[in-house]
Amino acid sequence: MTQTGGHPEGPAQKRGDQQVQISRLDRFFQITERGSTKAREIRGGFVTFFTMAYIVILNPLILGGFSADTAPLDVEGNWLQAVQIGAVTGLTAGVMTIIFGLVANLPFGIAAGLGINSFLAVSVVGDVTWAEAMGLVVINGLLIVFLAVTGARTAIFNAVPRQLKAAITVGIGLFIAFIGFVDSGFVTATEGGPPVQMGDGGSITTVPTVVFIVGLITMGILMARRVQGGLLIGIVVTTIIAIIIEMVLKLGAGGPDNPTGWHLNAPVVPSNIVSIPDFSLLGAFSFGAFDRIGVLAATMLVFTLVFTNFFDAMGTMTGLAKQAGLTNKQGNFPRLKSALIIEGVGAVAGGASSGSSNTVFIDSASGIGEGARTGLASVVTGALFLAAMFFTPLTSVVPLEVAAAALVVVGAMMVAQIREINFRNFSVALPAFLTIVTMPLTYSIANGIGAGFITWVLIRAGSGKAKKIHPLLWVVAAGFLVYFARGPITLWMGG
């Protein structure tokens, strides 16, 4: 008989080794333990990336531009190049999302936060340089990391009542649905009437908005029929429809001169799909703001960044973890401290790379809606962000209207958490209600959390339940009072 000892790895052995590898992957990410599968995690990672990919396009448009005429100028007249911001946006999002997946083992994507980048572009760089503004972001991140490492951030998280955590989840659901409605043009601002309206003058008037509606219905049907990969299938199908429409109608990207165009990017297959990223902005930050505008003024800017970053992330992670079914009865989730530390590191990395503070993205809810439950989905999302640095033109193929439809579907799923709130107890009902409605109406998760914390403390104390209020809630509520009054405080200090 012929001996096969010289070939120890036959087909059976190879299959056995593959099963061992799969088992190790499963154990590391606790895939089976959390009721998921590797296929679901990979699909979820793809869906999260597709609904987050717009940040690689949008962040450069907020922080920079293609010329001095199209970019926000700092106090010295400097501006950031959109191409460079796009490169560091993809790099930081990719690296931090992978680290988050490996360390925190949660299906959350991390990228440049839209609230803070807008705050920097509109309210900060008029007084400091871009490098100094990013230095303030780095300090903000270091403080958040310190609070997380010392356990203070975890303690505050644990002190939040379970019903307020449920309200935060519901509020985020309404918030991301509202973002989807606005990004798609389904809801727009009015000039002299109500704050918002449907479409233009109360009617749907643009083809891109119709594509959003088609995508919303398509995804809704697939989710209702419990089709595996429903969101991903819906995104792909609707994007193909959008590409065909653009080929026929040539609507182009929207703007003041083209109000009927696509909201952000036209769904066109690019001729050149590969680009070399420019990382010139890495390390381009400075701590010179304290000398330029004074210690008190710079400290108030840092305080604003910390409060926004801290509670936006806390609220987002609370909502995402609850949607994923990873929370316990108190609303806490596994590896909480690690998640809070890594999120803080994302803020440091974002400032150090000049791409603005990186934080957990609400859009991760789309991947969770697809079935993602572990950090493997985050690793997939992060890898796609790193690839996107070299294929930046392809990230613009999926129009914002399609991503917006996915956000509305996920928002509807998150609102289901409202069943956990006892609205028959008004000392719970009003704080929960204010938390929920303040988020979409003020376009801020932090504002909703602040409104909920302050009213929870005051109403429950006024109704004779002061002893049941966690001491940390008093401290945080007082901090939010300062946060909401930061404008007059800043003017008073400046005077």
pLDDT band at 18, cuts 50/70/90? low
| Residue with the larger pLDDT of the pair 218 and 190 | 218
Sign of CA dihedral 352, 355, 361, 364: negative
Give the model confidence (pLDDT) of 443-457 as tens digits. 887 888 889 999 999
Q: Whose structure tokens read 């066109």?
A: 268
For residue 380, name the pLDDT band (cuts at 50, 70, 90): very high
Q: Which of 51, 55, 436, 452 is nearest to 215 (CA)?
A: 51
Residue 155 tokens read as: 């303690």
Please list the residues that pair with 330 across neighbouring strands.
Answer: none
- In angstroms, the CA 66 to CA 38 distance is 41
Rounded Cα–Cα distance for residues 413 and 154 (Å):
27
Q: How many helices (H) and strands (E) does the chain have?
A: 21, 4
d(CA 382, CA 367): 13
Q: State pTM to two decimals.
A: 0.74
On whether the CB atoms of residues 312 and 111 are closer than 8 A, the answer is no
| CA max distance for the chain | 97
Reading the block at residue 365, the tokens are 């809810």
Q: Write the DSSP string, 349-377.
A: HHHHTTS--EEE-TTHHHHHHTT--SHHH
Angle, to 10 degrees, between the axis of helix 11-29 and the axis of helix 38-52?
Answer: 60
Mean pLDDT calculated for residue range 322-342: 88
**How does the average pLDDT of the chain come out, rounded?**
87
Grade residue 209 by pLDDT with cuts at 50, 70 and 90: very high
Q: Is residue 360's pLDDT more than 90?
A: yes
Tokens of 436: 């929920």
